[in-house]
A and B are shown apart, each in its own frame.
Chain A
Amino acid sequence: MKNFVKALMSLFFAISVTTSSWAVVMVSWGGAYTESQKLGYGDPAAKKLGIPIDWVDYSGGLSEIKAQIAAGAITWDVIDVYAMDTIVGCDEGLFVEFDFDKDFPPAPDGTPASQDFFTTMPSKCAVGNILYSWTYAYHDEKIGSKKPKKIKDFFNTKKWPGKRGIYKSAMHNLEIALAADGVKPRKGGSKLYEILETDAGLDRAFNKIKELCEDPNGGCVFWSAGAKPPELLMQGEVVMATGWNGRFFNAEIGEGAPLKQVWDAQGLDYQYMSIVKGGPNQADAMKAVAEMTSTHGLAGSAKYIAYAPWRKSSLKVIEAGEPWYKDGKTNMMEQMPTHPNNTKNYFLVDPIFWADNSTEIGERWEAMKAGL
């Protein structure tokens, strides 16, 4: 009996050692998003390269990986991160710096990778994955006959009384507050950040949010997980909620919920992949990331969720393959945050501004929330 237990334990140990030593561990945000990544480019890449990829969920932030590195027991290889976190992680030396054109394959027509991506990367440790958007949505049946169309309507509690669901941190909220207060974002949204850099501008944005949250006809519910906004809307906890366009799309098209998105003053934001320095499987991780962010890899994930691929060449693949969505009848291009219909008024979330100011603004934001 004892021998049997011993044999069993050594077997488990052997299995755990071997599987962990050759599967690439990819850490992402879970839910519909991880599903799209896994089906869209994870599984195909794993099949092609013969490298298994394990998917692990996390809720953002770099504390886990920092702790793993500090303890010398790194178990993550690739992390799906915000722009700001690639900057901080690169500065802290947590991530591998890329040699961009050498590490990533060119587009099918030969355009080098650095030209094929929409913009330059915020740090040397980042490779673009998807473009997503902060929009707001409402419940089509509960909202009444008049439908909100502009960002101003999100703050209009006279016409649409009821609570609003907003993100738990200041990010994105201050931008839409200014946009709703009449600031034209200008192309790319640089005007918003210029104003937020000044004290008066910051006050203006904070007051607008505070007004909404303290309004007896309004009020704020703060969400943190991406799955929450559609849920809050469906339960009727809020009349409108900001959220990520892919999640709204998933609820609306994927699950047939009566939600409608408003694209006015949408905040375009990027999602990146970074490779952990000294991860258990760094070489394979590099291969897997290069394959997943290739033209066909990125186009693949758009089959499952309405986030835009970062490569221009991937958009061509989608356009040629419409209807691209997995149900075989929905055209994906018009659901993309980058579609011309949706970009009439938009801003780009500025990672440098937030990397700079997030602590002080964060403290002020928390102080405001505490005083509500």
Chain B
Amino acid sequence: MSSETQKILTTGGIPLEESLKKVEKRNKIKAFLLVSPLLFFLIIAYISPIVSLLFTSIDDRMVTNMLPKTFKAMKQWDGKDLPSEEVFEAFYQDYKILIEEKRHGKLSTQMNYEKNGFKSILKKLARKMKKFEEGNYKEQIMAVHKRWADVEYWRALKRRAPTYTYSKYLKGVDMYENEEGKIVEVPEERRIYKILWLRTLEIAFFVTLFCFLMAYPIAHLLATLPMKYSNLLMICVLLPFWTSLLVRTASWMILLQQQGIVNDVFVWTGLVADDSRPEMMYNKTGTYVAMTQILLPFMVLPLYSVMKTISPSLMRAGKSLGGTPFITFWKVYFPLTIPGIGAGCLLVFIIAVGYYITPELVGGASGTLISNQIAYQMKSTLDWSFASAMGLMLLTGVLVVYWVYNKLVGIDNIKLG
């Protein structure tokens, strides 16, 4: 039987199977060629910048190449006491070349990220080095500034020797590798990132929860009300969605600040005294309120699209089989909405975890998130490698959430509409 089918030939005398494969292959190439400009564009304009920026978080070739002799000489040094004359001389020679090539400024920026106070002593050294005499560099360098005689600064220099480093990731969780190669926590008063990571998770979680609690009844109303009411309600959901984010955030500021409209109403109705107006803005409360309102449509719309497809006769069937309204809701309706809940929660959580502008404006001191810290590193300290390290950590976190969700619920169960 099978030998017979093999014998089927095309008019050209080639077996049909082969001929079909050929055509299919040609079609595949054609299809690929059709999408290739777009794919090419995506790789160049979207993927490669992201990858290259993420790569800077581990790439430390710049500093390694700036001080080749120093790092070679430092190999023998155990990091306990001040390094030997040999290291100082090597450093002097490396730094001299950098000054000639006008690259010493970049080194001072980089080293200042590693250990604060480097910037000015490197600058001072650059000025004083012109008058250095030959020999005994250790003494001459140490005479420039007292910090050059501090072993901590030389340890910081040694930490920058490897070509690739994960130190920025350690820094992102308030840790560093000390001179013995142990990973330890930074002094307590400088621990900031862990607090921010936890707070970001906490706020994203509660915003998702609040959104869910509010959106579920709204979406249910939208799906079950007669057309003329539900259309009106739909506009009420969509109108804020179409309004600029900044306008919505600013409106909350006007409403909730201490001398704002809501507080004025409280005082006017005698709910609170004029001098003890509650603080609802520039703190965590402000972030919760504004973010929940802004992200609400992202929860309502997927829920609505799922609920719309649930036939009302299912509920009636449940009731006719003897279920109370609650039981029918819980056993019939609710399970059918899970794909919408999954989509909405995942969407809101992922957006909330990386939210920037609203917490920046309304968060004050206690309501800002990790994204605000990333922006600070991008904008103010210009430490882009640290910013991209934290960015990657955030991205990984989101992917983990996605993975867990996939394991628990299954990503195929998501329904956006």
**A binding-site residues for B, Cβ under 8 Å:** 60-63, 66, 87-88, 90-93, 169, 206, 213, 220-222, 235-237, 352, 355-364, 366-372
Contact with A92, one of B109, B118, B378 (Cβ below 8 angstroms) = B109
**Contact between A359 and B116 (Cβ–Cβ < 8 Å)?**
yes
Q: In the complex, what residues of B have CB within 8 A of residue A352's CB?
A: 119-120
Name which residue of chain B comes closest to A66, CB basis.
B382
Indicate if B75 sits at the interface (CB-CB under 8 A): no
Q: How far is the CB of A261 from chain B (nearest CB, A)?
A: 22
Q: Is the CB of A370 within 8 A of B378?
A: no
CB interface residues, B 374-398, toward A, < 8 Å: 376, 378-384
Is there an interface contact between B381 and A358, defined as CB atoms closer than 8 Å? yes
Q: Please judge, given known A-B contacts A235-B257, A235-B259, A366-B373, whether A63 and B378 are in contact too, CB under 8 Å.
A: yes
With a cutoff of 8 Å between Cβ atoms, the chain B residues found around residue A220 in the complex are 365
CB pairs A–B below 8 angstroms (22 shown): A60-B379, A60-B380, A63-B378, A63-B379, A90-B105, A91-B106, A91-B108, A93-B105, A236-B259, A237-B259, A355-B119, A355-B120, A356-B117, A356-B118, A358-B381, A362-B376, A363-B192, A366-B376, A367-B189, A367-B191, A367-B192, A367-B195
Distance of B367 from chain A, by nearest CB (Å):
10
Chain B residues with CB under 8 Å of A364's CB are: 189-190
B189 nearest in chain A by CB position: A364
| Contact of B285 with A by CB under 8 A | no
Q: How far is the CA of A200 from the CA of B196 in the complex (A)?
A: 27
Whether a CB of chain A sits under 8 angstroms from the CB of B282 is yes
Q: Please count how many residues in chain B sit with their CB below 8 Å of the partner chain's CB atoms.
A: 35
The 0/1 profile, CB within 8 Å of A marked 1, for residues 140-159 of chain B is 00000000000000000000
Taking a contact as CB atoms under 8 Å apart, the answer to whether A366 and B192 are in contact is yes
Binary CB contact string for chain B from 354 to 378 against chain A (1 if under 8 A, 0 otherwise): 0000000000111000000100101
**Contact A61-B365, Cβ < 8 Å, known A359-B113, A367-B192:** no
Count A/B pairs, Cβ under 8 Å.
96
Among A357, A358, A370, the most chain B Cβ lie within 10 Å of the Cβ of: A370
Within 8 Å by CB of A370, from B118, B196, B381, lies B196
Does B190 contact A356, Cβ atoms closer than 8 Å? no
Q: Are A356 and B109 within 8 A (Cβ)?
A: no
Q: CB < 8 Å: which of A237, A356, A366 contacts B258?
A: A237
Chain A residues, CB < 8 A from B365: 213, 220, 222, 369-370, 372
* Complex Cα spacing A61 to B106, Å: 17
Say how far A109's CB is from chain B's closest CB, in angstroms.
32
Closest 3 pairs (CB-CB, A-B): A91-B105, A61-B379, A360-B116
Task: Name the CB-closest residue of A to B114.
Answer: A359
Is B120's CB under 8 angstroms from A63's CB? Answer: no
> Smallest CB-CB separation from A70: which chain B residue?
B384
The one of B282, B378, B381 in contact with A362, judged by C-beta atoms closer than 8 angstroms, is B381
Q: B112 at interface (Cβ–Cβ under 8 A)?
A: yes
Q: Once the chains bind, are A356 and B105 in contact (CB under 8 Å)? A: no
Residue contact A356 to B259, C-beta cutoff 8 Å: no
Interchain CB contact (< 8 A) of A221 among B118, B282, B381: B282
User: Does A92 lie within 8 Å of B105, measured CB to CB?
Assistant: yes
Residues of A within 8 A of B113 (CB): 359
Q: Does B130 contact A (CB under 8 A)?
A: no
Nearest B residue to A358, CB-CB: B381
> Is there an interface contact between A359 and B259, defined as CB atoms closer than 8 Å?
no
Question: Does B192 contact A370, Cβ atoms closer than 8 Å?
Answer: yes
Closest partner residue, chain A, to B363 (CB atom): A222
Q: Mark B3-20, 1 if CB is under 8 A from A, else 0.
A: 000000000000000000
Other A-B pairs, 5, CB within 8 Å; known A62-B382, A356-B112: A60-B380, A91-B109, A237-B258, A369-B366, A370-B365
Q: Which of A88, A169, A366 contacts B382 (CB 8 A)?
A: A88
Tell whether B407 is near chain A: CB-to-CB under 8 Å. Answer: no
Q: From residue 162 to 201 of chain B, which have CB atoms closer than 8 A to chain A?
A: 189-192, 195-196, 199
- Closest-CB distance, B145 to chain A (whole angstroms): 11
Q: Select the residue from B113, B118, B365, B379 with max chain A CB neighbours within 10 A.
A: B365
Residues of A within 8 A of B108 (CB): 91
Cα distance A311–B94 in the bound complex, in angstroms? 40
Q: A367 contacts B190, CB within 8 Å?
A: yes
What residues on B are CB-neighbors of A91 within 8 Å? Answer: 105-106, 108-109, 119
**B102 an interface residue at 8 Å Cβ cutoff?**
yes
Chain B residues with CB below 8 A from A221, complex form = 282, 364
* Docked-complex contact B117 and A357, CB < 8 angstroms: yes
Nearest B residue to A363 via CB reads B190
Question: Residues of B contacting A235 with CB < 8 Å?
Answer: 257, 259
